[in-house]
Chains A and B, each alone.
Chain A
Amino acid sequence: DAGITQSPRHKVTETGTPVTLRCHQTENHRYMYWYRQDPGHGLRLIHYSYGVKDTDKGEVSDGYSVSRSKTEDFLLTLESATSSQTSVYFCAIRVGEDGYTFGSGTRLTVV
Chain B
Amino acid sequence: SQKIEQNSEALNIQEGKTATLTCNYTNYSPAYLQWYRQDPGRGPVFLLLIRENEKEKRKERLKVTFDTTLKQSLFHITASQPADSATYLCALDGSGGYNKLIFGAGTRLAVHP
Chain A contributes a number of interface residues (CB within 8 A of B) equal to 26
CA distance A1 to B36 in the complex (A): 14
Residues of chain A lying within 8 A (CB to CB) of residue B44: 43, 90, 100, 102
A56 near B99 (CB under 8 angstroms)? yes
Given contacts A48-B100, A100-B101, A104-B42, contact A42 B49 (CB under 8 A): no
Q: Which of A42, A48, A90 contacts B99 (CB 8 A)?
A: A48
Q: Which of A41-74 contact B (CB under 8 A)?
A: 41-45, 48, 50, 56, 58-59
Q: List 20 A-B contacts (CB under 8 A).
A: A31-B99, A41-B105, A42-B103, A42-B104, A45-B100, A48-B99, A56-B99, A58-B100, A59-B102, A92-B43, A99-B36, A99-B46, A99-B49, A100-B44, A100-B46, A100-B101, A102-B44, A102-B45, A105-B41, A105-B42
